[in-house]
Structures are given as structure tokens and as C-alpha cells.
Amino acid sequence: MKNGSLFFLGLFAALGLAWVGIVVSSNAQIGSLAGYYDDTDSTSYPARPSGLAAQGALVYKDLGCASCHTQQVRRPGFGSDQDRGWGERQSVARDYIYQTSVQLGESRIGQDLTNLAGRKPSAPDQDDLLHMLYQGQGAMPSYQFLFETHKIQGEASSEALKLTGKQKPQSGFEIIPTTRAKELVAYLLSLNTTYDYPEAHPVAGAKGEGEK
């Protein structure tokens, strides 16, 4: 290797080819996916997140929730994602088109949250999630900085957490979720991928593993 300009050209081509081959081509392919309009219920899927949920997505991102939680369900044969009730079908690209900052995640110290609000038979509700955030559970730390302890003035707040045992605040005080906590929970409750897209159907006769 003595020819400097040829060497540079090689470097540039190496990077450029990979970029075109992976990034540009996949962008051309799925970069402008539209929602799927279902004629039978006259609705387009996925649903756009509400304003509060969009705010909550920012809280999710800034606390780094994605370092423990994934948001992608794999098809049967890849782990037990669906057997654990995390979703009834595999996640597809269309699920994410309206998320401003996609949080696929790379680690499952915590559970997968793709379809948290659509889980069957019972999905957690706002109360469950607020309690889990306040108390922590298993490998999940408590996020008490998302809550405030107030002195009860007059009537107790309807938003106050109903806690028992050691975590119960001293009498005369109550624990109220902050706006951030409420946004985060609204976001978590917007995670719902129950709608079945045609491309998410597993193909018959191909349930086995990919490897030879």
C-alpha cells in the first residue's frame, strides 16, 4: 500500500458501502411506513400517543429505563417472550412509527414492556404502576424521587398512594406522585400492541429455528 489517494478512496468506499447497504437501503424500505388502516373498524393503527404519554416517553428516556427494559417481542422460538404474556405476536417495524425516540432496549434485567397495557388476562393499571415505582420490586429499585411527601391539609388528596406497613407515611402526611411520575405512567399505559398486522403473522410451516 503506497498509493495514498487510492488508500483513502478505499477507506471511504468501505464506510460508504456499508452505510448505503445497511442504513440507506433500510431507510428506503421501511423509513416511510404508514399506519395500517383497518377497514372493519375504520381506524388506523398504531394509535398516536397522547400528549401526556409523549411527555412520559421523555421521562422514560431520561431515567434510562431502556437500560433494563426492552420494548420488542420476538417470535416464538426466540426465548419465551410470548409465553410470558409480554405480547401475543412479534413486534414489527410498524409498531414504532409514531415514537419520536424509539426505546428498543438491549437488556432484560426487567420485563419487556412492549404490550404492557394490552397484556392478558390482566394488565396493570395506574395504581399498580405507581406503587411499583414507589416501592420497587425484585431487581427494580424504588423511584421515590418521583414522589413527594405532603402534609395533609384539610381533606386527603385522592391521588395519594395507599401504602401499608413500613412504607406508610407518618400520620398527617401523604405521598403524592409528581407530574413526572404521572407522565411516565401515562406513557406506560399507552404501550399497547394488541392490534395484529398482516406482516406480524407467522408464516405457516416455518415455526422452526433459523439455524441449520
Partner 1 sequence: MTHASTSPSADSADQTPAESTGRYPLLYLLGSSVLWLVVSGVFALITSIQLHTPSFLAECPVLSYGRVRAMAETSFIYGWIGNVGLGLALWILARLSGEKLRGANWVFVGALFWNLAVTVALGGLALGDLTSISMYQLPSYVQPLLFCSYGGIAVAGLLSWTGRRREMMFASQWYAIAALFLFPWLLSIAYVMLECSPVRGVLQAVVGGWYAQGLWTLWIAPLALTAAYYVVPRMSGKVIPAYDSAALGFWTLLVVGGWTGARHLIGGPIPAWISSVAIVMTVTLVFHYIVVFLNLRMALKGGSLSLGFVAIGLICYVAGGFVDALTSMRAYAAITQFTVYEDAQKLLALYGGASMMFFGALYFALPRLKGAAWSSGALIKGQLILSAVGILVTVLSLAAAGLVQGNALADAKVNFSDIAVQMRPYLLVASAGQFIILTSSLLLAVNFLKTVITCCCKSDSSKEGALAS
Partner 2 sequence: MSNSSHNDSRFERAANDDAQVLDSHEKALGPQKDDAGNYNLRPLLMLFLLSTFVLFAATYVNRYSGHYSASIYNETALPHTGAEVVVKADPVAAGKKLFNSPGACYSCHQPNGQGIAGVYPPLAGSEWVTGSEERVVRILLHGLKGQVTVSGTSYAGAAAMPAFGTAGYNWTDEKIANVLTYIRQEWGNKGAVITADAVARIRSQAGDRKEWSSTELLQIK
Residues 14, 22: Cα–Cα separation, whole Å: 12
Q: What is the nearest approach in angstroms of partner 1 to the Cβ of residue 212? A: 9
Q: Which three cell numbers stand for residue 52?
A: 401526556
Number of residues forming the site for partner 1 (CB under 8 A): 75
State the DSSP code for 137.
Answer: B
CB 86 to partner 1: min, Å? 10
Q: Which one-letter amino acid corresponds to residue 150? A: H
Is position 142 an interface residue for partner 1 (rule: CB under 8 A)?
yes
Contacts of 198 (CB under 8 A, 6+ apart): 36
CB count within 10 Å of CB 54 equals 17
What does the block give as the cell for 194? Answer: 394488541
Q: Determine, following the binding rule CB under 8 A, whether residue 35 of this chain makes contact with partner 1.
A: no
CB of 28 to partner 2, least distance (A): 10
Q: How far is the CB of 193 from partner 2 (least distance, A)?
A: 14
Query: What type of residue is 180?
Result: R
- Residue pair 174/43 in contact by the 8 Å Cβ criterion: no
Told to check if 11 binds partner 1 by CB under 8 A, we report yes
What are the residues facing 140 on neighbouring strands? 137
Residue 138 makes contact with partner 1 by CB under 8 A: yes
Q: Is residue 91 a contact point for partner 1 (CB under 8 A)?
A: yes
Please, are residues 35 and 97 in contact by the beta-carbon 8 Å criterion? yes
Site for partner 1 contains 169 (CB under 8 A): no
Give the binding site for partner 2 (CB under 8 A): 29-30, 39-42, 75, 90, 92-93, 198-206, 208, 210
- 149: contact with partner 1 by CB under 8 A: no
Contacted by 202, from partner 1, partner 2, none: CB < 5 to 8 Å by type:
partner 2
In the complex, minimum distance from the CB of residue 41 to partner 2, in angstroms, rounded to a whole number = 5
Determine if 37 is a binding residue for partner 1 (CB under 8 A): no
Q: In angstroms, what CA-CA distances link 149 with 175, 186, 190?
A: 5, 21, 27
Q: Is 41 in the site for partner 1 (CB under 8 A)?
A: no
